């Protein structure tokens, strides 16, 4: 069979997939790029060509810059907390104890819940009138009266981060737990005989085996956290006083609330570019880590 025919056949076999990808990814992307150079509204006129005006306006607006900082803060703090909690949970669930299997299954539950359910659940917990958090903190004497955790700019973002962590740390724990199972028993035993304490054992024995898988979790979670929309939309809609507004919420508001399709498209592309840069940086890190632990 000739090489030319093989190549032709490969392209023929890939054609349906390529057609679908062009239809659902390629065309909307090209259309969005085109739209971002116009002043088009969501309804009404197609808009006129404005060059890079939308980009310049968006990047220089205080709104965008504040939102970028909020998004970065949300992503960094929530992902860092998820990593620490996930690894700690995995270390705990890797020990031998009665009921371990049941606890492992239970741990996955928050991650398995739909985000909307998780967000609603945490709204109930944070409720300023009958929320469980207020009740618990009042009863143990940490606060004097009920507070509106999601209604105050000072606490809303932290409250969202807690809710996001609760949902997503099981994913990190699951990945870390799988990696822990791969740590050879002999190496752990050797480190015990060599006199390594728990911290040194973690650093020299466990971490080299965790680093690669954790890096994958870090990439996935950072990108997701940077694009976060649903949990914030259900819990605060970006408020109060835009204190929980992230880039995805800003894109939504620009394109759909204010119906400015052109500038909304430019903003969406800026977010896409930022996430792509993050993904590329992490991909390079993953390659480096894989090379080091090979």
Partner 1 sequence: MSALEIIGVRKTYGEVETLKGIDIALLSGEFLVLLGSSGCGKSTLLNIIAGLAEASGGDVRIGKRSVLGVHPKDRDIAMVFQSYALYPNLSVRRNIGFGLEMRKVPAAERDRAVREVAKLLQIENLLDRKPSQLSGGQRQRVAIGRALVRKPQVFLFDEPLSNLDAKLRMEMRTELKRLHQMLKTTMVYVTHDQIEAMTLATRIAVMRDGRIEQLGTPEEIYDRPATLYVATFVGAPPMNLVDVAVDGGALAFGELVAPVPRLWEDAVREGQRLVLGIRPEALHFGGRGDHLIAAKVDVVELTGPELVVSASVGTQRLTACLPPRTRVEVGQVVELSFDADAMHLFDADSGRRIG
Binding site for partner 1 (CB under 8 A): 184, 186-187, 189-197, 200, 204-205, 208, 292-294
Q: SS3 for the chain, per residue?
A: CCHHHHHHHHHHHHHHHHHHHHHHHHHHHHHHHHHHCECCCCCCCCCCECCCHHHHHHHHCHHHHHHHHHHHHHHHHHHHHHHHHHHHHHHHHCCCCCCHHHHHHHHHHHHHCCHHHHHHHHHHHHCCCCCHHHHHHHHCCCCCCCCCCCCCHHHHHHHHHHHHHHHHHHHHHHHHHHHHHCCCHHHHHHHHHHCCCHHHHHHHHHHHHHHHHHHHHHHHHHHHHHCCCHHHHHHCCCCCCCCCCCHHHHHHHHHHHCCCHHHHHHHHHHHHHHHHHHHHHHHHHHHHHHHHHC
Q: How far is the CB of 196 from partner 1 (least distance, A)?
A: 5
Q: From the CB of 194, what's the least distance to partner 1, in Å?
A: 4
Nearest distance, CB of residue 98 and partner 1, angstroms: 14
In the complex with partner 1, which residue's Cβ is closer, 137 or 187? 187
Q: Least distance in Å: CB of 91 to partner 1?
A: 18
Query: In terms of CB distance, is 213 or 262 closer to partner 1?
Result: 213
Number of C-beta neighbours around residue 47 at 10 A: 16
Specify the residue, 191 or 257, whose C-beta has the smaller distance to partner 1.
191
Whether residue 145 contacts residue 131, with contact meaning beta carbons closer than 8 Å, is answered with no
Q: Which is nearer to partner 1, 17 or 199 (CB)?
A: 199
Q: How far is the CB of 289 from partner 1 (least distance, A)?
A: 11
CB nearer to partner 1: pick between 127 and 191: 191
What angle, rounded to 10 degrees, do the helices at 153-181 and 100-112 form?
130
Taking the complex as a whole, the smallest distance from the CB of residue 184 to partner 1 amounts, in Å, to 6
Give the three-state DSSP class for 41.
coil
CB-wise, 187 or 279, nearer to partner 1? 187
Question: Closer CB to partner 1, residue 204 or residue 256?
Answer: 204
Nearest distance in Å: CB 269, partner 1: 40
């Amino acid at each position: 069979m000739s090489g030319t025919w093989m190549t032709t056949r490969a392209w023929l076999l890939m054609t349906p997939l390529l057609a679908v990808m062009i239809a659902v990814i390629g065309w909307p992307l090209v259309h969005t790029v085109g739209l971002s150079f116009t002043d088009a509204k969501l309804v009404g006129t197609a808009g006129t060509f404005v060059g890079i005006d939308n980009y310049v306006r968006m990047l220089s607006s205080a709104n965008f810059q504040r939102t970028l900082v909020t998004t970065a803060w949300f992503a960094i703090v929530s992902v860092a907390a998820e990593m620490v909690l996930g690894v700690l949970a995995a270390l705990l669930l890797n020990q031998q104890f009665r009921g371990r299997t049941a606890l492992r299954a239970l741990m996955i539950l928050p991650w398995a819940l739909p985000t909307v359910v998780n967000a609603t659940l945490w709204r109930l917990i944070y409720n300023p009138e009958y929320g469980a958090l207020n009740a618990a903190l009042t009863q143990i004497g940490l606060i004097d009266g009920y507070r509106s955790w999601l209604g105050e700019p000072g606490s809303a973002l932290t409250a969202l981060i807690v809710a996001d962590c609760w949902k997503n740390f099981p994913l990190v724990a699951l990945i870390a737990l799988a990696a822990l199972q791969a740590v050879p028993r002999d190496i752990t035993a050797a480190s015990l005989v060599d006199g390594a304490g728990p911290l040194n054992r973690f650093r020299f024995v466990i971490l080299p085996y965790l680093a690669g898988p954790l890096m994958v979790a870090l990439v996935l979670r950072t990108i997701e956290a940077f694009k976060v929309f649903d949990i914030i939309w259900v819990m605060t809609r970006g408020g109060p006083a835009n204190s929980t507004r992230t880039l995805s919420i800003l894109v939504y508001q620009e394109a759909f609330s204010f119906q400015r399709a052109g500038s909304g498209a430019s903003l969406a592309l800026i977010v896409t570019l930022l996430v792509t840069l993050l993904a590329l940086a992490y991909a390079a890190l993953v390659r480096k880590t894989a090379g080091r632990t090979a």
